Amino acid sequence: MKIFDISMPLYNGVPGWPGDTPYAFDLAWTKEQSGSVNVGRLEMSTHTGTHIDAPFHFDNEGKRVTDLPLDLYTGPSLVIDVTGALEITIESIEGKIKNGTKRVIFKTKCWSDRNIFPEKIVPVSPEVVPFLKQHGVGLIGVDMPSVDPLDSKELQAHHALHQHNIHILEGLVLDEVSEGEYELMALPLPLQDGDGSPVRAILKEMS
Ligand SMILES: N[C@@H](CC(=O)c1ccccc1NC=O)C(=O)O
Ligand SMILES: [Zn+2]
Ligand SMILES: [Zn+2]
């Protein structure tokens, strides 16, 4: 069964949230220096590339990364193609989602050049959140760096999702993936007290 790698490659210069910690990988020790091994060193934001948000990211009382159950991030997922939409609304998904859909991934294609941070994305309309909850959704994934407009300080969609106990996966790469059902795996690192975590995300075709 085919596996799609839906993660953003991480490299020095990978675009992150404006003003946030730049991603930096280098060797703390080379094989020549240590006499035995190369040893890498990383500095990065927890919201670099493909990552999950823990509720603590936008709510001081919210759960941290290590409080989140892993079953959210692995299991059957519905990819919905909303390419061309200006906003993700009920109309974008009506008729495509059935009851008991635990994970929904939106393909917007709005972040076409992954070497630069986008100027505009396709926000998740807060009105869609109760509709997702009614269908049983506990996780949404998106192919953009946020679920809210990039200049939003209120983060209405983040908060509405949190109120409905729907968790957030951002920065997916869905160019090669078409609408349908897949098996998702996108596990956060066990970052104690973390507000978010990079993930390696894959979708596996279902038989
Ligand atoms: N909400 C975005 C990240 C975000 O808002 C952000 C990330 C790093 C530094 C500042 C940020 N927002 C500041 O207004 C996210 O969930 O990844
Ligand atoms: Zn984030
Ligand atoms: Zn977010």
Residues in contact with ligand 1 (CB, 6 Å cut-off): 17, 20, 45, 47, 53, 57, 145-146, 170
Spatial neighbors of 28 by CB under 8 A, at least 6 apart, are: 39, 40, 41
Tell me the residues surrounding ligand 3 (ion) with CB < 5 Å. Answer: 53, 146
Closest ligand 1 atom, CA of 153?
14
| ipTM value for the complex | 0.95
The pairing of beta strand 103-107 with beta strand 74-81: parallel
Spatial neighbors of 35 by CB under 8 A, at least 6 apart, are: none
CATH of domain 3-205: 3.50.30.50
CA separation, residue 182 to residues 74, 100, 177 (Å): 10, 14, 10
Q: Is 17 annotated as a binding residue?
A: yes
> How many Å lie between the centroid of ligand 1 and the Cα of residue 18?
9
Q: Cα(32)–Cα(150) distance, rounded to whole angstroms?
A: 45
57 classed as catalytic: yes
> How many Å lie between the centroid of ligand 1 and the Cα of residue 159?
13
Ligand 1 pocket test, candidate residues 8, 14, 17, most atoms within 8 A of CB: 17
Domain map (residue ranges) of the chain = 3-205
> How many Å lie between the centroid of ligand 1 and the Cα of residue 17?
6
Asked if residues 68 and 188 have their Cβ atoms less than 8 Å apart, the reply is yes
The H-assigned helical ranges of 84-155 are 90-93, 128-134
pLDDT score recorded for residue 207: 77
Asked if residues 6 and 201 have their Cβ atoms less than 8 Å apart, the reply is yes
Closest CA to 155 of 62, 23, 66: 62
Low-confidence ranges of the chain (pLDDT < 70): none
